[in-house]
Structure 1
């Protein structure tokens, strides 16, 4: 699928910039600039994975099982103590949310 605006997609553009930073910029620099190029490339790769369609289905389903539509509402309910009697369900939901974030931020983390 090419996305709403055709090609290149946002994920492809982000990947191209990350490749440029990881290749040309890092090859031509040293020290602090080289390090910052690496950090920027890693940040862009995280965005690329998010744009490429990390499936939010499991997250939405976990939130729905608790009766919430987003993380902000869940966090507010936890702060207010509304879910104190559903600790196991909340823990399961939070595990799903964290696993989803880690899949984008640090792929392969769950297999280490």
Structure 2
């Protein structure tokens, strides 16, 4: 799929920089610079997965099923006790949110 601005897409650019850090920079460095290159590459891989993630619609649907536009509104409602008695619905929504986050930040976690 080509992005709105053509190629390379944002995800492709992020992937290219991550690859540069993972290969060229890490192979040519040691110590603190090598560690920081690894951390930066991991952060870019998370951004890449977020950009490519198809699960956003699942998250929006899970929130909408409870009547919320975003996670902040859901959290405020939970804190206020407005969802008491709807535990099964809230838990289903939270599972969807957590599963989506883990797929981006730690792929494969749910299969470990």
Question: Is 1:7 aligned to 2:3, yes or no?
Answer: no
Shift of 1:55: 2.1
Count of matched residue positions in the alignment of Structure 1 and Structure 2: 112
Shift of 1:40: 0.6
TM-score with structure 2 length normalisation?
0.96
Where does 1:1-112 land on structure 2 (aligned, <5 Å)? 1-112=1-112
| Contact preservation (8 Å) 1:102, 1:109 | yes
Shift of 1:7: 0.4
Q: C-alpha distance in 2, partners of 1:81/1:65? A: 18
Q: C-alpha distance in 2, partners of 1:104/1:54? A: 10
Q: Secondary structure at the match of 1:84?
A: coil
Which segments of 5 or more consecutive residues in structure 1 lack a partner in the other structure?
none
Q: C-alpha distance in 2, partners of 1:55/1:61? A: 10
Query: Could you list the per-position Cα deviations for residues 26-79 of structure 1 after superposition, in whole angstroms to 9, with x for gaps in the alignment?
Result: 001101110111011011001001111332121111111111111111011011
- Root mean square deviation, CA, Å: 0.9
| Contact preservation (8 Å) 1:63, 1:71 | yes
Q: C-alpha distance in 1, partners of 2:23/2:91? A: 41
Q: Secondary structure at the match of 1:85?
A: coil
4+ aligned runs moved over 4 Å, structure 1? none
TM-score with structure 1 length normalisation?
0.96
